[in-house]
Structure 1
Amino acid sequence: MRIARDLATALERVPSAVLLYGDLGAGKTAFVRGLVEGAGGCPDEVSSPTFVLMQEYPGRRLVHHVDLYRLGGEDVADLEPLLDEMLAADAIVAIEWADRLRSLPEAAVRVRITDRGGDDREITVDGPVPS
């Protein structure tokens, strides 16, 4: 979670999309807990939004947590304008299963989480992160 907390701190100054990739159970929601904590929110409140599609967590900076796992095609396309609106509102928008998006937000940070067994995870962060 330290990586996610540090990323949230680095993203405090810009509208930010964090695109999360990884298999089921890889730790995408756990990563969002770190983002929420780094943005000044309560990580204990974070749960997977798989069945509700979206959660939001207040803090110094609002974090929207979106899960596209259950959506396909047109449903994702219908959601994209809302995602753009969230980004324009100066929030961090963390999107699980972001590979389902038709168009990716500009200047998005991509986070790939790979389960290496047990509690071990490999986390790769790619994209423009302000210093």
Structure 2
Amino acid sequence: MTNAMNIGDAALASGVSAKMIRHYEETGLIPKASRSDGGYRTYAERDIHLLRFIRQGRLLGFSMKQIAELIGLWLDQSRPSSKVKQLALSHITELDDKIKELQAMKATLEQLACHCHGDDRPDCPILEGLAQQ
């Protein structure tokens, strides 16, 4: 294999840690790496491109299942773009739901913190609020 990289070089080139590259191989997200005569993993530029694709998907918050689906769509040159858009719009809805949950958590914590004196007294509305079921 020409221009083959070891896992450390592949990690540097892709921005994905060597540990995660091995994990992606073990889970089948990416194909098993080629091996050198000495048994070391080797990666080609195509592999690096795929790892960068996965990294970008993770940065956008896609789940591993969604990334696997996106990879399948990316590799299928005859795919309709509507499937990709549908997946992206579904993920946007999930993100919106997560944002609402985070905003509700923040509002609750702000309310609890507002009622806490933050002094030397032991009473604390924050801990009382957390203890409520």
Q: What's the TM-score once normalised by structure 1's chain length?
A: 0.25
Q: In terms of Rg, which structure is larger?
A: 2
Greater share of residues in strand: 1
Normalising by structure 2, we get a TM-score of 0.24
